[in-house]
Structure 1
């Protein structure tokens, strides 16, 4: 990781957004990326979404099996179709890659290792697959990744199943894989505290990148 010297470059804003509809947050995230400049402080947003299926840039309609009353939104992230809903931790990373001395693969690996470390904190062995981004426990997927880079800065991020209704995943081929089994933290560790998992993962990402000044805020305004 390259050396950076100004306080601005080592500062981060972490925003807790709570339960949010997908499309307004998606719009705000794109606007943040479009309007940022070399002086803009990086941000990490964490939240959960109201029920929604999102189709990535590689998304194919045949992977939407029976969406029913859950809306489908086209997103500009990488990857195929996935589901977001209450009880799933979403982490959006708005990072200046050059300023942080990072490449795209570094950020993907960091997200995967962050989830793996969080699960290890609860005594769960997990792993990443080089040919299918995400985090897995045995054969089941517990976290999905979808990143976008524009003008050298990232947005979108990861989705980590903590304590949610997994049944909507049966309405799609998750990430383009028919019959992909899904799991979540509370099924692996019934007494796990999802809030502890959120804190652990956000702290992991913050320290891994190397920020020295972190401001915690609620909301986008």
Structure 2
């Protein structure tokens, strides 16, 4: 593709601020607007997907709960988790003859994480019946990455959240992604924690995603 992919490093921000920026970007974009990836770490927050059921919040805390417009159930975001939002014009890919459906985009996101973790010799895998990426940890299946998308005007926003090195305790306050008893893990559980940083992981994640979807131009901005 000769359409540039713009990468924005947003640092650490509140969830709602970035969410509303994604909505505005998607509503205002046109056929000439470049696709973008937004990299961000969020301040602690629980987010409920469109079909989120309140019973999956098991206990209240001082962490706010936000009703989002993405797909999926409840999850947690916090510092040390690499969030990658993908603002992709899906219909433009289709017009260019590329078979990019929502399912293909989900697969691209999952495979980007699988390949990134493989760079650290961590074997991970997606599941057909439960979007996200999982790792077997001493015989226990644990989730290391959550996914949730929204499609508007043929364009995507929201994306993935990959646990790098964070406080996992808030996940015990919920049924992660609506699954009771699901355990979460993070990259720092498997490698030298000094190598488990968002700053080191993010470029690998972006590179794999760009290659999978065939982008050959990238412009990087630190916002």
TM-score class, shorter: over 0.9
Aligned to 2:88: 95
Aligned to 1:56: 49
Contact 2:165 2:196 in 1 (8 A): no
Whole-Å Cα distance in 2 between the matches of residues 212 and 179 of structure 1? 41
Give the aligned CA root-mean-square deviation in angstroms.
Answer: 1.1
Runs (4+) off by over 4 Å:
none
Further displaced range: 71-80 or 96-105? 96-105
Whole-Å Cα distance in 1 between the matches of residues 82 and 123 of structure 2? 19
| 1:81 pairs with 2:81 | no
In the TM superposition, residue 196 of structure 1 has moved relative to its aligned partner by: 2.4
Further displaced range: 182-191 or 113-122? 182-191
CA offset digits 1:120-177 (Å, max 9, x no partner)? 1101111111000000001000000001111110000000000000000000110001
Aligned to 1:21: 14
TM-score by length of 2: 0.92
In the TM superposition, residue 58 of structure 1 has moved relative to its aligned partner by: 1.2
Q: Paired residue for 1:208, among 189, 212, 216?
A: 212
Q: Paired residue for 2:121, among 112, 120, 123?
A: 123
Whole-Å Cα distance in 2 between the matches of residues 61 and 116 of structure 1? 31
| 1:171 pairs with 2:173 | yes
| Count of equivalent residues | 212
Whole-Å Cα distance in 1 between the matches of residues 22 and 202 of structure 2? 20
Unpaired segments ≥5 residues, structure 2: none
Whole-Å Cα distance in 2 between the matches of residues 168 and 114 of structure 1? 26
Whole-Å Cα distance in 1 between the matches of residues 101 and 60 of structure 2? 35
In the TM superposition, residue 52 of structure 1 has moved relative to its aligned partner by: 0.1
In the TM superposition, residue 94 of structure 1 has moved relative to its aligned partner by: 0.4
TM-score by length of 1: 0.93
Whole-Å Cα distance in 2 between the matches of residues 87 and 127 of structure 1? 21
